[in-house]
Amino acid sequence: MQDVTHTGGEPRSAPPAVFLTAAEQDLTALTALDRTLRRHGARTGVDAERVLTDGILQEPVLQDLGACDVVVAVWSEAAAGDPVVAAHLETAVSYGKRTVRYPPNGDEQVEGLLREVYGAAPVPAPTAPTGIVVEPGRWRITTDGDTPLELGLVLAPDGGATGTSTARGRTGRVTGGWRYDTQHEELTLDLRIAIGLRPTPLSLLLCPTRRDGDRVHAADAHGLAAPRAYTLEPEDEGRGGTDSP
């Protein structure tokens, strides 16, 4: 596969942790590649904000680069001159990670890329759709771990989201938006949490994995250094915690 190149490191066992990078002009190709890799069992991470401060990447991005097995760059003329892509690749090399350059229109080379990122491990067949749909309504979304999070949200039919967020014993008011991609089974939450005077952004991309009665279990699509599992539970109108501001 001539357009896929790599440097450094040895292949690791499945499932690989893959950090994806691309210039802004190639984000559509990155999204498609991200979905393909996840369907085949890979864990993925991205730099959604693409922020450099004095030439340094944000700490969560540095952590994901440190936790990944390989960095895949959607490689184009735009990517070759993009400072954020360059920072991702240079940091990966400094961490001793493998790097792969993949063409933005490389659909015919996907199988080769999968073999590249899986190394000696067999490439799993794509996962079957779960058939789960997240609909408008009141939802309680929780995750545990070192920093438990609880969201009580009203997901409105027009794509708006309001409610509350509780983490580390602090509760804030939530506003923002949501959308559910039925074809790809992805719940996108773009939220702002107001605690005090400065709202905090929270962006999640959740992929349902199974249903347990009314509950939906979902995996965080991204976050290689600190992956999380979420539970979504529909709430009755009479239950508290999801009143709009």
pLDDT tens string 36-50: 999 999 999 999 999
What percent of the chain is predicted at pLDDT more than 90?
79
* Contact yes or no for 104/76 (Cβ under 8 A): yes
**What secondary structure does DSSP assign to 151-194, as a single string?**
EEEEE-TTSEEEEEEEETTEEEEEEEEEEEETTTTEEEEEEEEE
What pTM does this model have?
0.87
* Contact yes or no for 141/232 (Cβ under 8 A): yes
Lowest mean pLDDT among 82-91, 151-160, 187-196: 187-196
pLDDT of residue 108: 75
Q: Would you say residue 245 has pLDDT above 90?
A: no
Q: Would you say residue 5 has pLDDT above 90?
A: no
Mean pLDDT in residue range 198-215: 94
Lowest mean pLDDT among 9-13, 175-179, 232-236: 9-13
Q: State the chain's mean pLDDT as an integer.
A: 90
- Which stretch of DSSP H or E encloses residue 43? strand 43-46
Q: 182 — phi, psi (to 5°)?
A: -65, -40
Q: Would you say residue 7 has pLDDT above 80?
A: no
Angle between helices 83-94 and 59-67 (to 10 degrees): 50
Mean pLDDT in residue range 177-203: 93
pLDDT of residue 106: 65
Name the pLDDT band for 195 (thresholds 50, 70, 90). confident
Provide the 8-state DSSP code for 195.
Answer: E
Token code pair at residue 35: 């979905």
pLDDT of residue 169: 87
Name the pLDDT band for 143 (thresholds 50, 70, 90). very high
Higher-confidence residue of 106 and 220: namely 220
Name the pLDDT band for 237 (thresholds 50, 70, 90). low
Q: Would you say residue 229 has pLDDT above 90?
A: yes
Q: Would you say residue 11 has pLDDT above 70?
A: no
Q: Would you say residue 178 has pLDDT above 80?
A: yes
pLDDT of residue 196: 73
Q: Would you say residue 12 has pLDDT above 70?
A: no
